[in-house]
Amino acid sequence: MDDLQKLWNLLSDGLPDEALLTDPDVMASYAHDMASFCTAGAPAAVVLPRTVEQVQHVMRTATACRVPVVPQGARTGLSGAANASDGCIVLSLVKMDRILEISPVDRIAVVEPGVINAVLSREVAAQGLYYPPDPSSWEMCTIGGNIGTASGGLCCVKYGVTAEYVLGLDVVLADGRLLTTGRRTAKGVAGYDLTRLFVGSEGSLGIVVRAVLALKPAPPQQLALAAEFPSAAAACEAVCEIMARGHAPSLLELMDRTTLRAVNAMAHMGLPESTEALLLAAFDTPDPAVDLAAVGEICTAFGATGVVPAEDFAESELLLQARRLSLTALEAVKTATMIDDVCVPRSKLGAMIDGTAAIAEKYDLTIGVCAHAGDGNTHPVVCFDAADEDESRRARESFDEIMALGLELGGTITGEHGVGVLKKEWLAREIGPVGVELQRSVKAAFDPLGLLNPGKLF
């Protein structure tokens, strides 16, 4: 009996037939996420567990056979963190999709990792509650994937990122043991914060099988405005002034001219293509019209050529839909894209966007920028023809220059997409040799055999 057949036999001993996939063509569809320029191997098996015990069985088998395991959610990631390695077990958690509990009193939800972000958001909203993290892929991405990459979203400027809502976790470790971290309470400081350590670890320390998530009371419906600017720099100056004056928008987003044109081409939304930057601001305060008026005055003072407040919730949602379509629209410009997520201090946002435009001109490429402007989190999207070798080379070089620019401005190489395969060289540059050494030590403590998501991060 060869090693592959032995592995299949051992896995099947603790799994229902439908949970184990071994057909090469089927397995190939689980080999990678949505990132460009990230290598992916051929899995030895794909497992879709439905229970914690099945996950434990997979990890015990993997440890016994010394086979690497790559955890996956919906594979909407943009850094290659969910890409298979040759001969690995792909552990897809999408079938573990139950909402186990929603407690309005404790303001928590207890969920399995395969729950779709939008499904959870709607379920808690029906009980007058709110789960704020809302990545652009929220209709497809899973909570487990959000935890793995420490996802953000459009509302982060006011409500924060995924890490701030994960109170506790159940995690299956590399050897199959079950670890419970954190709490269900509003406060708790017992021991090291292992919960936060797992958030953003990209499946390299353990397999999240249950999460306790903090909820908030549902806010009022938000109202939005759109402000047109003659330059991205002027829009960024307005952003800085909005934040400096103490406003707390529920959303503060920026789309450059390239992005606006892409969205119009795809969705025919009639956005103003002649403007250089469109700033979207929204408030979910008791009287959002007052806040929008104040922000509108700031935008006008900083050179906005037009400020249009939405009259109602439906009109606001139409504006926000345009922003949510940005990445999809830019992906349609060429056959391939590289989507960056460099985050800089708000005060450096204008320099980041202008610098990106200069890089686009230098490499003769289309690079659209949409941004969570209130966070300083930019998403430069490099559009290129994957079949053109020279254009692909220029795309990769421009991507690297954008990350270098972000570091020069005091920022970080990733605000919410994670490191994965795409940015592992840049992680070392950002955190330095001592940081790499300590992070590898943490990895070794949780996964001494190096079986969990090998080749990612560093």
DSSP secondary structure string, 115-138?
-BHHHHHHHHHTTTEE-----TTT
Domain range for 25: 3-92
| Same-domain pairing of 68 and 105 | no
Q: Are residues 108 and 83 in the same domain?
A: no
Q: Are residues 239 and 130 in the same domain?
A: no
d(Cα 65, Cα 449) in Å, to the nearest integer?
11
282 and 301 part of one domain? yes
Does 197 share its domain with 285? no
Same domain, 112 and 181: yes
376 and 393 assigned to the same domain: yes
From 172, 193, 217, give the residue that closes a domain: 217
Looking at the fold, whether 308 and 380 belong to one and the same domain comes out as: yes
d(CA 36, CA 81): 12
- Tens digits of per-residue pLDDT, 108-134? 999 999 999 999 999 999 999 999 998
Residues 137 and 257 in one domain: no
Distance CA 165, CA 147 (A): 10
How much is the pLDDT for 258?
Answer: 94
**Domain boundary residue among 67, 92, 117?**
92
Mean pLDDT, the chain, whole residue set? 95
| Assigned domain for 161 exists | yes
pLDDT digits (tens, 9 = 90+) for 7-43: 999 999 999 999 999 999 999 999 999 888 888 999 9
CATH for 103:
3.30.465.10
Within-domain flag for 370: yes
Asked whether residue 354 falls in the same domain as residue 232, the answer is yes
Model confidence at 274, in pLDDT bands (50, 70, 90)?
A: confident
For 145-162, give the DSSP string: HHHHHT---TTHHHH--G
β partners of residue 352: none
Average pLDDT over residues 403-416: 97
Are the C-beta atoms of residues 175 and 191 closer than 8 Å to each other? no
Task: Indicate whether 153 belongs to any domain.
Answer: yes
- CATH number, domain containing residue 76: 3.30.43.10
Band (pLDDT 50/70/90 cuts) for residue 1 is low
Domain tally, the chain: 3
The residue behind tokens 């806010």 is 219
Picking from 183, 217, 251, the residue at the C-terminal end of a domain is 217
pLDDT bucket at 399, cuts 50 / 70 / 90: very high
Give yes or no: residues 386 and 283 share one domain: yes
Q: Residue range 382-399: average pLDDT?
A: 95
Assigned domain for 335 exists? yes
pTM of the model: 0.94
Is it the case that residue 367 has pLDDT exceeding 80?
A: yes
The tokens describing 284, both together, are 């979910």
Residue 298 sits in a domain whose CATH number is: 3.40.462.40
pLDDT of residue 8: 97
Domain membership of residue 424 (yes or no) is no
Same domain (yes/no): 238, 155? no
Smallest CA-to-CA distance from 344 within 330, 329, 354, 358 is with 354
Q: Is residue 454 in a domain?
A: no
The per-residue pLDDT for 289 is: 94
